[in-house]
Amino acid sequence: MRHLFILFARFADQLILESMLGIDFIEQATLNPPCPCFNRVTGLNIRTHVLADTGLLGTPLAMEDDSKAIVCLETTSDMVVDELGLVHGGFVFGLADYAAMLAVNDPNVVLSEAKVKFTAPVVAGQALKAEARVVEKVGRRRSVSVEVRTEDRSVMEGDFLCVVLSEHVLKRKQ
């Protein structure tokens, strides 16, 4: 039943965008392969960001603790910022950040800093895939490289500095 609701919501998003932008997304959707987001992998041992909304941050597809993660996000009309269907870069960044957190996969991981480069625009309806790799480990610090791609091109690349704290960031003394 949940899958039917997700598919219906995706179809409704396409209809809203179609009428808003005058674009035929239904026809376009038949040309592109479906987003791998609908093929959610079960059995992943997710230990961080366990309450993350997959509709906003993406669906984890593969993970290896303290090594790598792959996360997919289907962009929607709720992410659009103009009449041409441009998706706000914050959603792309959120996907990349979530992938970096899952690559480390510790309950107390936080993002300390990030340097990103947006390389191409994203339009609503495009599926995004973020691949994150831990490239350096020094004590509690993890340097994570992330690339976000559509089916045919890179849209963002970045370096994320993650830190594994000794306790949850909200439990720390000020």
| Model pLDDT for residues 50-79, shown as the tens digit of each residue | 999 999 999 999 999 899 999 999 999 999
d(CA 30, CA 101): 33
pLDDT (0 to 100) of residue 173: 80
Query: Which pLDDT belongs to residue 83?
Result: 97
| pLDDT of 104 over the 70 cut | yes
Determine the average pLDDT of the residues in 110-116: 98
% of the chain residues with pLDDT over 70: 75
CA distance 137 to 157: 20
Instruction: Read off the pTM.
Output: 0.78
Find the mean pLDDT for residues 12-32: 40
Torsion of CA 73, 89, 69, 119, to 10 degrees: 110
pLDDT digits (tens, 9 = 90+) for 30-57: 333 445 554 555 689 999 999 999 999 9
CATH code, residues 2-171: 3.10.129.10
pLDDT at 131 over 60: yes
The pLDDT value recorded for residue 150 is 97
Confidence of residue 172 (pLDDT cuts 50, 70, 90): confident
User: What is the average pLDDT value for the chain, to the nearest integer?
Assistant: 84
Q: According to the model, what pLDDT value does residue 19 have? A: 47
Average pLDDT value for residue range 12-24: 44
DSSP secondary structure of the chain: -HHHHHHHHHHHHHHHHHHHH---HHHHHHHSPPPGGGSPPP-----SSTT--HHHH-EEEEEETTTEEEEEEE--GGGB-STT-BBPHHHHHHHHHHHHHHHH--TTEEEEEEEEEE-S--BTT-EEEEEEEEEEEETTEEEEEEEEE-SSSEEEEEEEEEEE-SS-GGGS--
